[in-house]
Chains A and B, each alone.
Chain A
Amino acid sequence: MRELPYGKAALSMLVLAVLSGAWIYSHPPTEEKATLRLWVFANTHYNAYKAALPAFEREHPGVKVDMQLVAGTAVTSRLLAAFWADLDVPDLVETEISSAGMFFRGPLKDIGFVDLTDRVRDSGLWDRMVRARFSPYMSRGRIFGLPHDVHPVMLAYRRDIFEKEGVDVSKIQTWDDFVRVGRMLTIPNKRYMLEMTDTDSSLFEYLLFQRGGGYFDPKGHCIFDNDICVDTMCWYVPLVAGPGKIGNSLGGGQILTKAVEDGYILCLVAPDWRTKFFELDIPRVAGKMALMPLPAFTPGGRRTSTWGGTMIGITKRSRHKDLAWELAKFLYVEKTQVSPRFRESNILPAAKDTWDDPAFNEPRPYWSNQRIGRLYAEVAPDVPYQYTSPFIITAKVKLGEALVECVLYYKKHGNHGFRPFVKRALKKSADEVRKLIERNPY
């Protein structure tokens, strides 16, 4: 070993490295006939699909679906990184509505999802599904995702307290009616009529959508400083900040549970998916809760809105795009799969012809035996359109900033000069989004 002064150990390591390298090179990993990799971020979806996937695999012999549950906050950045690096890209991905727009940045050819427009139209899904639900997953007129849900919004309320206070909800037809009742039931610092926040746009946007407003128009122009938004803001802020305040929010999770149990908040914004969360997180009020349609802004106006959503997209890197499309349809529009799933998730599927299943007519004890599936199905066709943009997250933050500014102004000056201030605040925020859009060279 005098010729190799670093000793036997170094020689052994070298030999091992060469041998193992040669072995790996000569044994490339073998793949099954077709393995579809699917990323989901919602636990409820994961559990539902887990039960459904064996049926799909039986229908497609030799096909295996490798489903992975990726944390909601991580899925967006992981997918972005995967698209950028062309590595570890799954075949199908479920993406949350507020982050979907982020993947539509850049020229169409650079979008990591397959353009599904022709497939959607050829398969008839364009007519079968609630059309408004495609809009958040479209860019420049092309469809990049299949909508999982409709997520119509109703109001969940403490039926026991309303009855005790002698409130007849059937008489609450408009927001004016609602506010009137709210002023009666609200006890400052002890009880508030509605869950409303004065710090971000999360509980403001469904009202904006209900009035036909939004963050962007179909062409991706920022529009949240238009008259609809100004009107909504002028209506909203005094309810959450003024002396006639009827809304408050303490936060989510356990604190929301406590606030509802204590009767601190009487009415909650309830898209279908959230009713399941209430059932699981606030079990003590079972049988004391009920749902009512959103009050309309004008008599005879829209009685619902929308909050949240999920799409499934097929990635351009997928080597089995047709198979991936079959799987997407199986999970999202196959009646035998989708309808019974309502019992587990309370989520109304986007395919309208699935809503006649008995699962949607079952009374729910938690909701004072209301047939909540039917209630949601009745308002679902009227859910408003909402459009997205790669700058959607920024737009949400900016609208939230404008809201905070308006709240601070109103607390200090009240109605004096409030509307012009709202206009200025919204324009300033929207201009900041426009400035970013203008910088985008694509």
Chain B
Amino acid sequence: MISDAAQVKGRRLTWFSLQHKYAPYLFVSPFVVVFAVFGLWPIAKSLILSFYATNGPKSQVFVGLDNFRFLFRDADFVRAVWNTSVFAFWSVFLQLPLSLGLALLLNKKWMRGRELFRLAFFSPNLLGQVFVGVLFSVLFIPQYGLVNKALHAIAGRSVPLDTKWLADPNLVMPALVLTSLWMYSGFNMVYFLAALQAVDQELYDAALVDGANGWQTFLHVTLPGIKPVAVFVMIMSTIGSFQLFELPYIMLGNGPGPDRAGLTIVMYLYNTGFVTGDLGYASAVGWTLALGVLMISLFQMKASGAWKGASE
């Protein structure tokens, strides 16, 4: 026969063991619940919505794949994809070399005031896209803007004072790329700087002993050393570029700019969802964008050998 004290002890043990067994689930449950409600459910709901034509969330008509079919025939979407791709291309192929160059410069021990320069190059990123957009819209003003005045002073009549950077379809994209260059070069520079400082100094010493020149050292020591970070920065820059919205939206006066020169995919999504009011079509755009970015990122990882590096 089991005594009362033993029974009480047994019950306490069971209670404690149950608590210890389920406590982890209890602790993670707030995150899981919040993520399910505000993360998973909207994602699932947007997928469902992409098969409907909607007027807000109340009126919905099932249209099957029609939203996707229309998407690829729509000249605006094609233009948005083109603009965004051009922006992404220049972002990666101008921004990253510039960021790396700045990082290499600031990594030199002989460089004076490195901390000051680091802060100066990084600080544009602290401002946010809206502020930067407003700032550059003023800089690009025709006739009186600083950009035109400076270029006119340097290049003379070949750059007229009333050059309309944000109102000329051919100049809108260069203006956006220049602005993002100013904003993000310093940000990416910090990643490269951290990567450069992590490259084993002994490898440089060995290269020096082997008689490698500066270019060879960069090519065979520095680049392989910073490759994982470079791939990461490239992928993040590409994803960021494909999500471009605030900068053109602010700089071009809440619209796509002249001849849709500043129309990006996210701006197109915003317009279809919150201007035209078709959330279903906007969802289709969103899913297409997500899949597109995923494919490009996978391609970049494969092309750069990032998977191979990870598996090793």
A→B interface (CB under 8 Å): 2-3, 5, 73, 77, 80, 83-85, 102, 105-107, 110, 189, 197-200, 248, 250-251, 255, 258-259, 264, 390-391, 393-394, 397, 400-401, 404-405, 408, 432, 436, 439-442
CB pair A440 B53 closer than 8 Å: yes
CB distance from A79 to the nearest CB of B (A): 11
Chain A proximity of B272: nearest CB distance (Å): 9
CA–CA, A220 and B160, complex, Å: 43
Instruction: Decide: A84 near B15, CB < 8 A? Known: A189-B161, A250-B162.
Output: no
Judging by beta carbons under 8 Å apart, are A441 and B57 in contact? Answer: no
Which residues of chain A are within 8 angstroms of B254 by Cβ–Cβ distance?
73
Which residues from B are CB-within-8-Å of A80?
56, 274, 277
Which of B49-88 touch A at CB < 8 Å? 53, 55-59, 61, 63, 66, 70, 75-76
- B133 CB-CB contact with A under 8 Å: no
Neighbour of B142 across the interface among A251, A408, A436, A440, CB < 8 A: A251
Residue in contact with B259 in the complex, picked from A107, A405, A436, CB distance below 8 Å:
A405
- Asked if B260 and A401 sit within 8 Å, CB to CB, the answer is yes
Residue in B58, B63, B258, B274 whose CB lies within 8 Å of A404: B258
- The answer on a CB contact under 8 Å between A255 and B141 is yes
Give the chain B neighbours of A442 by CB distance below 8 A.
Answer: 55, 59, 61
B143 touches A84 (CB 8 A): no
Q: Which residues of B contact A77 (CB under 8 A)?
A: 274
Kindly report which residue of chain A lies nearest to residue B16, judged by CB atoms: A5
Tell me, in angstroms, the Cα distance from A106 to B57 when the chains sit together.
12
Residues of B near A400 (CB, < 8 A) are: 258
Contact of A432 among B75, B167, B258, B271 (CB under 8 A): B75
Chain B residues contacting A440 (CB-CB under 8 Å) are: 53
Chain B 241-284, CB within 8 Å of chain A: the 1/0 string? 00000000000001111111000000000010011110000000
User: Mind listing 5 A-B residue pairs with CB under 8 Å?
Assistant: A84-B58, A250-B144, A251-B141, A393-B275, A401-B259
Contact among A248, A432, A441 with B76 in the assembled complex (CB-CB below 8 Å): A432
- Residues of the A chain whose Cβ atoms lie less than 8 Å from the Cβ of B16: 5
A294 to B257, CA, bound (A): 28
Looking across the interface, which residue of chain B has its beta carbon closest to that of A109?
Answer: B59
Known: A432-B75, A442-B55. A250 touches B143 (CB 8 A): yes
Residue ID in chain A nearest B281 by CB atoms: A439
Q: Are A436 and B258 in contact (CB under 8 A)?
A: no
- How far does the alpha carbon of A440 sit from the alpha carbon of B277 in the complex, in Å? 11
Cross-chain contact of A110 among B55, B144, B258 (Cβ < 8 A): B55
Knowing A255-B144, A258-B144, say if A404 contacts B169 (CB, 8 Å). yes
Closest residue of B by beta carbon distance from A439: B70
Q: How far is the CA of A393 from the CA of B162 in the complex (A)?
A: 28
Judge whether B164 is part of the interface by a CB distance below 8 angstroms. yes
For residue B19, CB closer than 8 A to chain A, the reply is yes
What is the minimal beta-carbon distance from A397 to any residue of chain B, in angstroms? 7
Given the known A-B contacts A255-B141, A390-B277, A397-B255, are A3 and B15 also in contact in the complex, defined by CB atoms under 8 Å? Answer: yes
Note all chain B residues with C-beta closer than 8 A to A84.
56-58
Please, which residues of chain B bring their CB within 8 A of the CB of A258?
Answer: 143-144
Q: Complex Cα distance A197/B164, Å?
A: 11
Q: How far is the CA of A107 from the CA of B59 in the complex (A)?
A: 9
Q: Check if B141 sits within 8 Å of A102, measured CB to CB.
A: no
- With a cutoff of 8 Å between Cβ atoms, the chain B residues found around residue A110 in the complex are 55-56, 58-59
Bound-complex Cα distance A387 to B44 (A): 39
Shortest CB-to-CB span from A189 to chain B, Å, is 6
Q: How far is the CB of B195 from chain A (nearest CB, A)?
A: 41
A426 → chain B, closest Cβ, in Å? Answer: 14
Q: How far is the CA of A122 from the CA of B188 in the complex (A)?
A: 66
Q: Are A248 and B259 neighbours in the complex by a CB distance under 8 Å?
A: no
Please report the C-alpha to C-alpha distance between residue A405 and residue B258 in the assembled complex, in whole angstroms: 10
